[in-house]
Structure 1
């Protein structure tokens, strides 16, 4: 643990995840004396048991899918290559990569002159401008640290549902990254993005996967075009989906095999299971914080309540990220943390981040990209008569040379949700190969208030999947094409002039 004097920090951050670290480092650039308290590996959920290692596994699953398709491009069958897959090899490479990232986070803290305090942090009283935080090290050593401002960013953790033998005989998404080998038969329980992502990875890498849903379909909060398309595609890929089960009532074990007992539905049990993965929700990591000691308000779910400026009801104590439960995404926490530092130490009194129209990717198979209102949400907000929707469904050109019926080709589906007479785009929802890499640009367009005509006026990049979003019929003229708006480029062409252009 860092040696402490009776020092006062300008900014003490509890939690070494992306949001907390970003905020601490930004504050240090303004001259604030900052520290981060972390009891585990640096980087938080995202780096250690979330988006980073998950994306590595998704990449492996994508490679398996491409190998499976090899014969359609003249390379011969890919089953032999798929059969050589080593889960152990991939796990070792993935874990080594994560360990390197842990070290990079430590180095970046040091380079930014931010202290690292190792241990469990809990609020210990004090008053605005002089808050006290107890830091308990792994050896039991306790230090009291004082700080003018405190940021609570400890993140969250997976929650297990109740039921006999459920916790004892299943793993969480955290436990997924501890698996030493690919399970031969897996049951994934849950309807959120974590459930469909990990079910897709396991299935693509060769596990026999059953997805257990409490209701009829996964991703219930998403637009129906992506929800319905993914549902059909998971079934086509060989994932067994058990619907309207009411959840898992209990799990029993006999040796290394488990039996999953369902509350209701057409199937009562799933037997001879090697791995049961529960992905039914997460909770905020508030227990160690001792929030009652300073009277911080929490919601009924336990999340810390904050306003639009990440302020709790205790002056000088702030919170952001998963512990608040508002758009639980790493880039969201990073943005909120940086804006908070800008306001506290950077001389930008109104700095805050926007939680509206946040682009989101689900690394399912195929991936999903979405931003803004779903069709139903837009109708609820603006009125059905004020909402117009454009859709497109097609097979990616990647599958064009496959000598199989169109119905057997993995689908791509896209939807634009527009509002008002000028058709402002308030929602973009896509599922299919490549949408994960193209959504960022369309997210910028939505944040800028682009209209359907703006989309139409952008020349399509051909042949790509993204061109469908700017060619959805019926189409119209954009403001630059009608002369209603002048281009900031002043007519410049992106092609270089002279010899290069003359050769085209």
Structure 2
């Protein structure tokens, strides 16, 4: 059978872009369909605009800290319209850059939503086309729990387009998106209340990291309401009122409410049932939450239909941009480059761009103990005030931690809270991935004075 394309990619986010360009480099005839801006969640409504907001939110602290070094900083103010406009301009610039990269690679871009008709046929832009292989890389979307009044609530998608800076923002959710936006908005001068269901933020991270970030957020003026859920939201003359599950707890009134309660694979309307593609159900805990579905794949990204593959957040494995890119390239190498390989999901480093910032790679202390027993794990930990703050008077602390196999001395995990955590852990991740031991760390000469040297001087 003759097909219109060797590969048809649905979704021009990180995974789809990486796969399409790599496949085209091997000589495949490739088309990619995207209904929104090219670049996906990361470029358009995630990593990039969020990190730019993080940068912007940190200037007030720098203005304050400068006084400790003798600088006299006058009155400052934020031009909100300029702030959101320049971020949006950068998003559009990057999106156009990715369009140019596709054209240079010889990939046909179809600006339309695509859906499957059968295992080899796609309906797109009002027509039907065929492909030998199909890659689904549609990413995920934010979800809101089914709670009365949720129509008054925004998601992370809308956070980059607020018409004005909120005076008081309430954030529902304890994951990294909620935590990051809480810190961003506090840094920009908003009153911030964060409501979390359990006692700590960032479930799945190392407990020391979770404690340190949460205490740091509280120290910076974020009001964290723990062990509570929102049961209803009502519009009142003062703004939006959040009723909480704790009976004696006063309602929270804010002018903007962000639901940062998770993301789900964006698989609706793809016609997966027409191609016989299996889904994996997963339940989100908590009142008002429903079951979500991810595309089931093997280690090579192959679905239940042998010629259809999926990568990135729609498979709900590790939902990070570099992972989607790595999965997309591994797929293209395997299917078009005669280089069969699976993407390695072990020791994937990640960061939380909160204030204080955090980054991590490898196993948490609890995970290591569960696998090796308490006697089988040795913990190295350091907590100190960084040199920079010796003159600012700020009480900010840095926490650094190594999780080590007590028998082999292999470093199983590295965790950090403090300034430049992501930059430091990125380098440490190389050592952890290579299987470095504590002796290897000890034998490495530190750069003095630096925060990073603590990772090679812990005793």
Does the alignment pair 1:438 with 2:421?
A: no
- Identify which of 107, 112, 124 aligns with 2:105: 112
- Provide the residue aligned with 1:20 in structure 2: 16
- Provide the residue aligned with 2:50 in structure 1: 54
Per the TM alignment, residue 256 of structure 1 is displaced from its structure 2 partner at its CA by 7.0
Does the alignment pair 1:274 with 2:255?
A: yes
Query: What whole-Å deviation, never above 9, does each CA across 1:96-149 have from its counterpart, x for those lacking one?
Result: 0001011001100000000011211111014xxxx00111x3xxxx11110111
- Provide the residue aligned with 2:403 in structure 1: 417
- Provide the residue aligned with 1:471 in structure 2: 457
Equivalent-residue separation in structure 2 for 1:255 and 1:123 (angstroms): 48
- Identify which of 171, 181, 187 aligns with 1:188: 171
Residue 346 of structure 2: SS of its match in structure 1?
A: coil
- Provide the residue aligned with 1:291 in structure 2: 272
Query: What whole-Å deviation, never above 9, does each CA across 1:197-238 have from its counterpart, x for those lacking one?
Result: 000000011000001011111012111111111111111111
Equivalent-residue separation in structure 2 for 1:251 and 1:76 (angstroms): 44
Does the alignment pair 1:132 with 2:116?
A: no
- Provide the residue aligned with 1:486 in structure 2: none
- Provide the residue aligned with 1:238 in structure 2: 221
Please report the RMSD computed on the Cα atoms of aligned residues, expressed in angstroms. Answer: 1.3
- What runs of 5+ residues in structure 1 fail to find an aligned partner? 1-5, 474-504
CA contact (8 A) 1:416 1:428 kept: yes
Residue 289 of structure 1: SS of its match in structure 2?
A: coil
Equivalent-residue separation in structure 1 for 2:108 and 2:247 (angstroms): 54
- Provide the residue aligned with 1:392 in structure 2: 382
Query: What whole-Å deviation, never above 9, does each CA across 1:474-503 have from its counterpart, x for those lacking one?
Result: xxxxxxxxxxxxxxxxxxxxxxxxxxxxxx
CA contact (8 A) 1:243 1:265 kept: no
Equivalent-residue separation in structure 1 for 2:408 and 2:141 (angstroms): 44
Does the alignment pair 1:345 with 2:336?
A: yes
Equivalent-residue separation in structure 2 for 1:221 and 1:77 (angstroms): 41
- Provide the residue aligned with 1:355 in structure 2: 345
Q: TM-score, normalised by structure 1?
A: 0.87
Does the alignment pair 1:93 with 2:86?
A: yes
Equivalent-residue separation in structure 1 for 2:297 and 2:223 (angstroms): 41
Query: What whole-Å deviation, never above 9, does each CA across 1:276-307 have from its counterpart, x for those lacking one?
Result: 01100111100121111111111113000111
Q: Which is worse superposed, 287-296 or 21-30?
A: 287-296
Residue 422 of structure 1: SS of its match in structure 2?
A: coil
CA contact (8 A) 2:3 2:132 kept: no
Q: Which is worse superposed, 182-191 or 376-385?
A: 376-385
Per the TM alignment, residue 77 of structure 1 is displaced from its structure 2 partner at its CA by 4.7
- Identify which of 293, 301, 326 aligns with 1:335: 326
Does the alignment pair 1:456 with 2:437?
A: no
Per the TM alignment, residue 255 of structure 1 is displaced from its structure 2 partner at its CA by 5.1
Give the number of aligned pairs: 448
Does the alignment pair 1:375 with 2:365?
A: yes
Equivalent-residue separation in structure 2 for 1:256 and 1:241 (angstroms): 21
Equivalent-residue separation in structure 1 for 2:422 and 2:11 (angstroms): 29
Give 1 or 2 for the bigger CA radius of gyration.
1
Equivalent-residue separation in structure 2 for 1:123 and 1:288 (angstroms): 9
Equivalent-residue separation in structure 1 for 2:310 and 2:352 (angstroms): 25
- Provide the residue aligned with 1:302 in structure 2: 293
* Structural mapping, 1:60-79, within 5 Å: 60-77=56-73
Query: What whole-Å deviation, never above 9, does each CA across 1:23-74 have from its counterpart, x for those lacking one?
Result: 0000000000011110110000000110000000000012222112221111
User: Once superposed, which parts of structure 1, at least 4 consecutive aligned residues long, lie more than 4 Å away?
Assistant: none
CA contact (8 A) 2:415 2:425 kept: no
CA contact (8 A) 1:120 1:288 kept: no
Per the TM alignment, residue 325 of structure 1 is displaced from its structure 2 partner at its CA by 0.6
Per the TM alignment, residue 440 of structure 1 is displaced from its structure 2 partner at its CA by 1.1
Q: Which is worse superposed, 53-62 or 433-442?
A: 433-442
Query: What whole-Å deviation, never above 9, does each CA across 1:365-386 have from its counterpart, x for those lacking one?
Result: 0110101110000011122221
- Provide the residue aligned with 1:160 in structure 2: 144
Per the TM alignment, residue 265 of structure 1 is displaced from its structure 2 partner at its CA by 6.2
- Provide the residue aligned with 1:479 in structure 2: none
CA contact (8 A) 1:242 1:267 kept: no
CA contact (8 A) 2:357 2:421 kept: yes
* Structural mapping, 1:180-219, within 5 Å: 180-219=163-202
Residue 215 of structure 1: SS of its match in structure 2?
A: coil
- Provide the residue aligned with 2:31 in structure 1: 35
Per the TM alignment, residue 151 of structure 1 is displaced from its structure 2 partner at its CA by 0.5
Cα distance change on mapping 1:134 and 1:334 into 2, 3 Å: same
- What runs of 5+ residues in structure 2 fail to find an aligned partner? 282-291
CA contact (8 A) 1:320 1:337 kept: yes
Equivalent-residue separation in structure 1 for 2:351 and 2:123 (angstroms): 38
- Identify which of 116, 124, 129 aligns with 1:123: 116
- Provide the residue aligned with 2:285 in structure 1: none
- Provide the residue aligned with 2:154 in structure 1: 171
- Provide the residue aligned with 1:499 in structure 2: none
